[in-house]
Amino acid sequence: MEEQGRRFTALIDIGSNSMRLVIYQQEKSGRLYEVENVKAVARLSNYLDEENNLSKAGIDVMIKTLSNFDEILEIYPYQHFVCMATATIRQANNQADLIKRVKDIFDWEMVVLTEDEEAYYGYLAVVNTTAIDEGITVDMGGGSTEVTYFKNRDLVHSHSFNFGALTLKTLHDDQFSETGNLAKVQEFIKENFDSIPWLADRHVPLIGIGGSARNLAQIDQNEKSYPMAGLHQYEMNIDDINRIFNDLKSMSLKRREKVEGLSKDRADIIVPAILTFKMLYETIHADQFILSQNGLRDGINYQWILADLDPPYFPNVIEESLAELVARYDLNVPQITQVHFLTRQLFNELIKNKTHDLTTEDWVSLAHAIDVYDLGHYIDTEASPQHTFYLLVNQTIDGLSHLEKLKVALMSSYKNKVTFKQFVKPYKSWLTKKERKKLQLLGALLKFTYSLDATKRQIIKDYELKVKRKKVQLKFYCTKNPSAERYQVEKQKKHFEKVLKKKIELEFIETPMQSETL
């Protein structure tokens, strides 16, 4: 039995291609993260007979898989549980009997999602885990494909097509060549997409959800030796999609099964799936393809977690995600607030002096970096910069693109020029020389301002700043003895001076508050 006090949520997803059991642990913030994800490739859609009933063999596969899941569930003291099914069970004429069997055997209420619900939950996951304001989502399962269009984060249109990756595979006709079969599939997909007027010419991002989209992104990352871990919010363009599609369609199934990033169980269905993404990209005239690691299951969880919000999505995805990191790594919130105060005026003065062409937009990235500065000390104080950079660059920060995440990681982990160059080396092509210099400056500024609250007492209540041609003069007014802060900032200011190319003069004035002198 798991240790007491930990809160778990369990969700079973009975899909057309695969079945999954996912166990989540609920954090203090209320958000969920996966602790267990068990997948079984059941391919239930292959067991729909001529009368559109799930056959006895299909029922046996489903019940056996659910029995395995039930054994795993015994380990976790879960407080919330959902068992839901999608296209194949929805399409099965013996759906009522299937629901009854699950109830009789496991005492679970199997919820069969409608087409609209399945589309809605995919959309809800995307708007709660990305900062995309307008886009089209596509969630391709084994037996259906859901698309939605949202604007200003609100759902505008949705549609569920009654074809999926497995369905398209069944269109294969032995009398045609492989090329002929693909042409047949392409015509079928085009007819379906053309039947939905609101899809045409949107010129917005296409957000891919589900296993086929995930495999597409994984293949692209492997081919490019992508240096950053994580798939969520990974970006591709039509050239990337075309390259992978053309490569895979020319391969034998045996060879395709060995492609890095492609799950062996998807090797026989990945080509029509990618063809679907390619055609939808062209139909909407997308400006990019973005992978969302979050989909249907996450949308269901957000509906539950955010039940008190109307609409049920976070007001600011990035702030929510950063707040979660602050809580997870036990960062000091009063210190973060103090450093925001100390950094903002200095930053504004640097803008006034046209230092490194800083702009007000740079403050947004710097503010994010302030929130998670030096979080690597949670693991080890001595190697904190290395841990900080690795943790930030290789974990998902909802709402931040991979490039934005890199910038935050470089600023939050700044130690000196040497370590900065080490950290940025694999990503050098991502940033111009000018951008790298700017990030060094902001990283050094952040290291400098954090040292001004070295003891986490927030003793600096005000300061004066003068920027001259060759030097910067700073006068700090402190409510308590600032000797510890003075020591730390004198020790750290050399890094800031080097990138600023100005001498920094510091003065600390102790002015105890009236209440403290009584």
470 and 359 housed in the same domain: yes
Give me the count of residues in the chain.
518
Q: What is the 3-state secondary structure (H, E, C) of 184-202?
A: HHHHHHHHHHHCCHHHCCC
In a domain, 36, yes or no: yes
pLDDT digits (tens, 9 = 90+) for 24-56: 998 777 778 899 999 999 999 999 999 999 999
386 and 497 housed in the same domain: yes
Give the bridge partners for 151, in sequence order. 134, 154
In a domain, 310, yes or no: no
In a domain, 290, yes or no: yes
The predicted pLDDT at position 173 comes to 66
Burial of 496 (0-12, 13-18, 19+ CB in 10 A): buried
Domain boundary among 112, 128, 156: 112
Question: How many other C-beta atoms lie within 10 A of the C-beta of residue 159?
Answer: 18
268 and 120 housed in the same domain: yes
Beta-carbon contacts of residue 359 (< 8 Å; ≥ 6 apart): 351
Residue 5 pLDDT grade (very low, low, confident, very high; cuts 50, 70, 90): low
The predicted pLDDT at position 363 comes to 97
Question: Cβ distance 292 to 137 under 8 Å?
Answer: yes
Domain boundary among 112, 139, 171: 112
Residue 3 pLDDT grade (very low, low, confident, very high; cuts 50, 70, 90): very low
For 53, the 3-state DSSP assignment is coil
Q: What is the CATH number of the domain that holds 478?
A: 1.10.3210.10
Is the peptide bond between 77 and the residue preceding it cis, with omega within 30 degrees of 0? no
Domain boundary among 253, 271, 299: 299
Residue type, 376: G
354 and 425 housed in the same domain: yes
Residue 13 pLDDT grade (very low, low, confident, very high; cuts 50, 70, 90): very high
In a domain, 492, yes or no: yes
Does the structure show a pLDDT above 90 at 174? no
Tell me the range of 22-36, 376-390, 460-474 where mean pLDDT is highest.
Answer: 376-390
User: Angle 384-393/402-412 helices, nearest 10 degrees?
Assistant: 170
Question: Cβ distance 358 to 346 under 8 Å?
Answer: no
Q: What is the CA radius of gyration of the chain?
A: 27
Residues 316, 321, 325, 328: is their CA dihedral positive or negative? positive
126 and 260 housed in the same domain: yes
| Rounded Cα–Cα distance for residues 245 and 231 (Å) | 19
292 and 323 housed in the same domain: no
Residue type, 437: K
Question: Cβ distance 91 to 48 under 8 Å?
Answer: yes
Residue 516 pLDDT grade (very low, low, confident, very high; cuts 50, 70, 90): very low
132 and 103 housed in the same domain: no
Does the structure show a pLDDT above 50 at 428? yes
| Rounded Cα–Cα distance for residues 444 and 504 (Å) | 13
Question: Cβ distance 380 to 387 under 8 Å?
Answer: yes
Higher pLDDT, 4 or 439: 439
336 and 294 housed in the same domain: no
Q: What is the CATH number of the domain that holds 234?
A: 3.30.420.150
In a domain, 393, yes or no: yes
For 510, the 3-state DSSP assignment is strand
For residue 29, the Cα-to-chain-centroid distance in whole angstroms is: 17
Both tokens of 108, joined, read 């679970």
205 and 293 housed in the same domain: yes
Element (DSSP H or E) covering residue 476: strand 471-478
201 and 225 housed in the same domain: yes
In a domain, 306, yes or no: no
Element (DSSP H or E) covering residue 282: helix 270-284
CB hemisphere CA count around 156 (13 angstroms): 13
Beta-carbon contacts of residue 55 (< 8 Å; ≥ 6 apart): 47, 48, 49
378 and 452 housed in the same domain: yes
What percentage of the chain has pLDDT greater than the value 70?
A: 97
What is the rounded average pLDDT of the residues 179-183?
Answer: 86
Nearest to 149 by CA among 330, 283, 254: 283
| Rounded Cα–Cα distance for residues 304 and 306 (Å) | 6
| Rounded Cα–Cα distance for residues 419 and 382 (Å) | 14
E-strand stretches of 195-317:
206-209, 235-236, 289-292
Question: Cβ distance 350 to 358 under 8 Å?
Answer: yes
230 and 245 housed in the same domain: yes
Beta-carbon contacts of residue 128 (< 8 Å; ≥ 6 apart): 294, 298, 299, 302, 306, 313, 314, 317, 398
User: How many domains are there within the chain?
Assistant: 3
Residues 326, 330, 331, 335: is their CA dihedral positive or negative? positive
The predicted pLDDT at position 170 comes to 83
Question: Cβ distance 141 to 86 under 8 Å?
Answer: yes
In a domain, 312, yes or no: no
For 507, the 3-state DSSP assignment is strand
Residue 512 pLDDT grade (very low, low, confident, very high; cuts 50, 70, 90): confident
Long-range contact pairs involving 57-62 (C-beta distance under 8 Å, separation at least 24): 59/98, 59/101, 62/14, 62/19, 62/98
Does the structure show a pLDDT above 60 at 1? no
E-strand stretches of 113-238:
134-140, 145-151, 154-161, 206-209, 235-236
The pairing of strands 8-14 and 78-85 is parallel
Both tokens of 403, joined, read 């490039």
| Rounded Cα–Cα distance for residues 471 and 342 (Å) | 18
How does the average pLDDT of the chain come out, rounded? 94
In a domain, 3, yes or no: no
pLDDT digits (tens, 9 = 90+) for 117-135: 999 999 999 999 999 999 9
What is the rounded average pLDDT of the residues 237-244?
Answer: 98
Domain enclosing residue 221, as ranges: 116-299
Q: What is the CATH number of the domain that holds 26?
A: 3.30.420.40
pLDDT digits (tens, 9 = 90+) for 277-333: 999 999 999 999 999 999 999 999 999 999 999 999 999 999 999 999 999 999 999
What is the rounded average pLDDT of the residues 191-205?
Answer: 98
Nearest to 12 by CA among 291, 215, 296: 296
